[in-house]
Structure 1
Amino acid sequence: MRLIYKGGIHVSRSAIWRRALLLGIIAVLLAAFAASAAAELPGKVQIDSADPFKVIPVSRGQKEPTWAEGEILVRLKTYMSAADADAQAAAEDFRSLNAVLGAEVVEAIPVSAAADVYKLKIPATMSVAEAVIRYESSPFVRYAEPNYLWYPDATYPNDRFFTYEWLYNMHNTGNQAATERWFHAPLPGADINAPEAWDVRTDASDVIVCVIDQGIQSYHPDLAPNMWVNEAELHGEPGVDDDGNGFVDDVYGYDFYYDDGTIYHDDPNDDYHGTHCAGIIGARGNDAVAGGFHGGVAGVAWNVQIMSCKFLGPGGGQSDNAIKALNYAKKMGATITSNSWGGGGYSKSLEEAIANSGMLFIAAAGNEGVDNDIMPHYPSSYDLPNVIAVAATEWNDKVANFSNWGANSVDIGAPGHMILSCYPDGTESVWAWMGGTSMATPHVAGAAALLIAEYPDLP
């Protein structure tokens, strides 16, 4: 794995603790990142069920929707629940404008301890762009924006049932088997030096990492021992909010896409991405799953608590649900979030929620092969002290040709090409190769978990 700093050793948006954390991750991972110009992004691939070793190109030309139709997010300049006259006047003006435009408040979502963003349902006769303009022109509105849609950062699975533990990303010896399989000779040492880090520490069992993504196959044999567990819900009554946190049956986290406590729905097309990312962070190591070397994998942190906050589904995920996921993770004790997604646009409400979360927000730099200094990729491009943007490297220690980069907007690089990790196949648990900055991001999340476990008082 190779690392890059924004403009050299001085990271432009770092606070003292963030700089210390990045330096610590360097010490854990011991690598460097070649910031070369990226070539054209290869097409995504998918699995051919008749031949699990066949790679099928998929067109890049499909344009995903940018925002959810029929709704917007609005933040007022004053807090509506406040008792002062200005707040009451703003609240009345807000209600009056909603009535005039035919909009309806669906819910209030906290973005800080003293502020909410309001999700509004707008009439079918009004476009999202028109609604945003109307609310932005109001003197009592701080901002109005679309409810942006977010997507997994283009990954490409193959070799679905191939179970050899070719974890070049952890420890790259330039082995001949990998050369024959990939038609490239891996560069020895082009890895994260995981064994050297594991000599110091493998346990991060006191650290909660929240995977804000698709869901996770919680019963996968490499993941089940490391899933975060809400004990009150695990031992409580089904259909009851046993711990009184506002969520029912949230045993391993919560599904904000379907609004229930079931983080995995036995659909590999729905939750493969979150499961794969979770395995990179914390697949249980040294446990000889499925026959040891010829079976399971090991995550960066062998023992860690993995919380699942699902907000991505078949149609992507919305800003309001991403904010709810952040709020849940914070409320339930997570210190790190792993975010392998992007798209949408510059969401002020999401930025505000991230800034006020108090958690380390590790985010994928994106897979368009562009300079994020010129073409920002959100949420990784938010200029916040708790955001770490991650690019992808290959087995030759160069930036992956699909990866975004940026001297001032990308902080660090990690392996992101042909990464073997956990994968769901309906009710079966398997392993698969995938790639993208989506896979690079959880490497950094796992390293951060080890670092925080070793240095719990890190500022």
Structure 2
Amino acid sequence: MREKDSMNRRTFLQLSGFAGIAGFTGFASAVPERESGSSVELLVGTSATTERPHTVVTPYLPNGTRIVHENDTLGYVAVEFPEQSSSQVYTALKQASMEQGPVSYVEPNGTHRALYEPNDPLYSNQNIHQMINTPAAWDETLGDSDVTIAVIDQGVAYGHPDLQGNARSDPGHDFVDDDSDPAPDTSDESHGSHIAGIAAAGVDNGTGIAGIGNSTLLSVRALDEMGSGAISDIADGIQWAADQGADVINLSLGGGGPSQTMDQALAYAVDNGALPIAAAGGSASSEVAYPAANSKCLAVSALDSDRTLASYSNYGEAIELAAPGTNVLSTVPGSDYEVRSGTSMAASVVSGVAGLTLSQWDLTNSELRAHLKDTTVNVGIPEDEQGSGLVDAGNAVTTPP
């Protein structure tokens, strides 16, 4: 699958394959300087012995290799050689390590790196990012404005300082009042703004919280000031969002029971390339709420910070993923922030991860759905509570599909 190179945030070599890096200098003996160019390094460990590591390893080294680093205390050396010799050298040393002799292991001298941390001042108050490994994803990408997340809800307060940078220039549509202003009618209509902030509040913008990624937000108002919405408005909103090119459609709503009209709207969205992501419901029921129960939706349950099913979360066979849903800090109308809990929040976390994943990989909606599930972390609770597991942004972004 092709990687989106333009949004890659790597500044160091990957910890995979054979990669030459500058060595750790502690407890090091004097060795030749490393050569620049296409050289490769392996770390070779030695068994407990009174001999120096380089004395142990040298007899096993093919021509053209040299020791560039040695640590007597830990008993290893770094061996450098031309890239074209990598197979020969690795085979020779690996064979030596399998003979129960003085060579105990062979491994690439790869790299680790500091995990990215955004400059958003409320980032340290957010419990979701460490739980879903977002910093590892941010090492690669902070998101892409070419990826659109539609929020079908009470409307999004685009004027919030943490949302305005990721708001779509053509803001959306209000299916409740049938106009082109999808903002909440009152500040009490805050559910949609909270959902939007979780998925795509500005990351690294020096303001408030950090969303999952810098995707573009498309507001579709289909719920009124009481948080209720007619099936027709929601279905029309889904269809409209798909027509606008939404990549992800967040549905933090439900409870009205199956509907053929909604089924048609969801099928239309999927046929037009969108991935609907829906909240499982918050009545602690063993039945997943509709529309999350529809097979066209990716159904999300909510976990507490201890990675167990939240007491309020619905569960059942339809659950495909789990995400943090308890005590989630996000944006509300004005310039404020609030902590809220619910499967609504969990669904938005997954929508944000989906958007971040699309900023790194070119995937169809079905490929995206499978990739999100394939890169989860099993948290040890029943499958009907977590599906394939806890969504992991770092895995989703760094693991090739």
CA contact under 8 A between 1:254 and 1:309: conserved in structure 2?
Answer: yes
Distance 1:333 1:164 in 2: 30
- Counting matched residue pairs gives 241
Distance 1:219 1:200, change over 3 A: same
**1:287 corresponds to:** 205
Alignment partner of 1:273 out of 191, 194, 202:
191
**1:219 corresponds to:** 159
**1:351 corresponds to:** 263
Alignment partner of 1:313 out of 224, 228, 231:
224
**2:63 corresponds to:** none
Distance 2:263 2:363 in 1: 26
Distance 2:156 2:194 in 1: 8
Alignment partner of 1:170 out of 129, 139, 145:
129
What does the per-residue CA deviation read over 1:191-213, in whole Å, with 9 as the maximum and x for residues that have no partner?
Answer: 00110111122122110110011
Amino acid at match of 1:366: G
Pairwise CA distance, 1:314: 2.5
Q: Which has the higher contact order (CA 8 A, sep 6+)?
A: 1
Superposition CA RMSD, Å: 1.6
CA contact under 8 A between 1:163 and 1:431: conserved in structure 2?
Answer: no
Distance 1:337 1:211 in 2: 6
Structure with higher Rg: it is 2
**1:323 corresponds to:** 235
**2:251 corresponds to:** 339
Distance 1:341 1:165 in 2: 28
Distance 1:333 1:202 in 2: 21
Which aligned segments of 4 or more residues in structure 1 are displaced greater than 4 angstroms? 162-165
5+ residue gaps, structure 1, are 1-161, 172-190, 231-251, 290-295
Distance 1:331 1:342 in 2: 22
**1:366 corresponds to:** 281
Q: Secondary structure at the match of 2:300?
A: strand
**2:143 corresponds to:** 203
CA contact under 8 A between 2:122 and 2:210: conserved in structure 1?
Answer: no
Pairwise CA distance, 1:457: 3.7
Pairwise CA distance, 1:225: 0.4
Amino acid at match of 1:168: N
Distance 2:234 2:243 in 1: 14
What does the per-residue CA deviation read over 1:135-182, in whole Å, with 9 as the maximum and x for residues that have no partner?
Answer: xxxxxxxxxxxxxxxxxxxxxxxxxxx9674111112xxxxxxxxxxx
Pairwise CA distance, 1:226: 0.1
CA contact under 8 A between 1:165 and 1:420: conserved in structure 2?
Answer: no
**2:175 corresponds to:** 256
Alignment partner of 2:327 out of 393, 409, 418:
418
Pairwise CA distance, 1:266: 5.3
Distance 1:265 1:450, change over 3 A: closer
Pairwise CA distance, 1:383: 2.3
CA contact under 8 A between 2:185 and 2:225: conserved in structure 1?
Answer: no
Distance 2:168 2:151 in 1: 11
Q: Secondary structure at the match of 2:215?
A: strand
Higher mean C-alpha deviation, range 275-284 or range 191-200: 191-200
**2:342 corresponds to:** 436
Distance 2:346 2:144 in 1: 19
Pairwise CA distance, 1:370: 1.4
Give TM-score scaled by structure 1 length: 0.51
Q: Secondary structure at the match of 1:268?
A: coil
Percent sequence identity over aligned pairs: 34
**1:8 corresponds to:** none
What does the per-residue CA deviation read over 1:53-90, in whole Å, with 9 as the maximum and x for residues that have no partner?
Answer: xxxxxxxxxxxxxxxxxxxxxxxxxxxxxxxxxxxxxx
Q: Secondary structure at the match of 1:269?
A: coil
Structure showing the higher strand proportion among its residues: 1
CA contact under 8 A between 1:280 and 1:299: conserved in structure 2?
Answer: yes
Distance 2:240 2:169 in 1: 14
Amino acid at match of 2:205: D
Distance 1:357 1:339, change over 3 A: same
